[in-house]
């Protein structure tokens, strides 16, 4: 079958999902004429989860709340369902076999772009997906740091830079400071209701 639907993959911990993620996804959707963006929360080993972060089902619920008003955004829980450590290559292989009409574009922020050569089975992954890179403040992208074969698989799109991270949101909550407008209103309400990241 022809892979004629173009799907962006937005993978992350989403602990919690914030407006930087949404703007990155929407920028890629718009600039690269994608049909949809699928948000795929990463499974986090239980030991790490307890420390400061939220449980998987809560992270997933926040993703669903954040994207509910955009029909082209979907939440896909395959990494949570698989459990254990998730490698992007396994996720993409599973997505490709389940969706023979789709081609995939992996959206990544600049903090992860320079690490791409270290990703598990990156050569195989790069033969299956193209990467769409977006810049985060303080993390300029230098594609010359990537080998040629990988650089040719990365497309950069420019977005208004958003200096928001989930780490910063968690520490603000812990310090009793406000995170309002860093996340969408439904996500904000849920975080407050659940008392998330307070300790």
Residues that bind ligand ATP (CB under 6 A): 12-15, 20-21, 24, 108-109, 111-112, 134, 136, 162, 164-167
Nearer to ligand ATP, 23 or 102 (CB): 23
Give me the least distance between CB of 1 and ligand ATP, in Å please: 29
Torsion region of 195: left, alpha or beta (phi above 0 gives left; psi -120 to 50 gives alpha): left
Give me the least distance between CB of 152 and ligand ATP, in Å please: 20
Q: If DSSP codes are grouped into helix, strand and coil, which group holds residue 63?
A: helix
- The residue number with the shortest CB distance to ligand ATP is 109
DSSP 104-162: EEEEEEHHHHTTGGGSTTHHHHHHH-EEEEE-BTTB---GGGS-HHHHTTEEE------
Nearer to ligand ATP, 62 or 162 (CB): 162
Nearer to ligand ATP, 101 or 139 (CB): 139
Give me the least distance between CB of 134 and ligand ATP, in Å please: 5
- Rounded CA separation 44/54 (Å): 10
Nearer to ligand ATP, 138 or 176 (CB): 138
Give me the least distance between CB of 165 and ligand ATP, in Å please: 4
Nearer to ligand ATP, 101 or 178 (CB): 178
Give me the least distance between CB of 14 and ligand ATP, in Å please: 5
Task: State the CB neighbour count (10 A cutoff) for residue 81.
Answer: 10
Nearer to ligand ATP, 112 or 121 (CB): 112
The token pair at 170 is: 């968690």
104 upstream amide cis, omega within 30 of 0: no
**Helix (H), strand (E), coil (C) string for 94-111:** HHHHHCCCEEEEEEEEHH
Give me the least distance between CB of 69 and ligand ATP, in Å please: 20
């Amino acid at each position: 079958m022809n892979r004629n639907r173009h799907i962006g993959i937005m993978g992350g911990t989403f602990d919690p999902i914030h407006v930087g993620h949404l703007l990155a996804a929407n920028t890629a959707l718009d600039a690269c004429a994608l049909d949809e963006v699928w948000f795929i929360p990463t499974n986090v080993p239980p030991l790490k989860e307890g420390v400061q972060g939220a449980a998987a089902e809560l992270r997933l619920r926040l993703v669903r709340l954040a994207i509910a008003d955009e029909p082209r955004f979907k939440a896909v829980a395959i990494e949570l369902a698989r459990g254990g450590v998730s490698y992007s290559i396994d996720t993409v292989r599973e997505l490709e076999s389940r969706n023979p009409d789709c081609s995939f574009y992996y959206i990544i922020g600049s903090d992860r772009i320079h690490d791409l050569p270290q990703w598990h089975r990156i050569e195989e992954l790069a033969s299956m997906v193209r990467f769409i890179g977006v810049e985060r403040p303080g993390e300029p992208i230098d594609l010359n740091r990537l080998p040629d074969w990988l650089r040719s698989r990365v497309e950069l799109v420019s977005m208004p830079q958003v200096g928001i991270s989930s780490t910063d949101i968690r520490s603000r909550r812990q310090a009793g400071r406000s995170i309002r407008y860093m996340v969408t209103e439904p996500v904000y309400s849920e975080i407050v209701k659940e008392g998330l990241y307070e300790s």
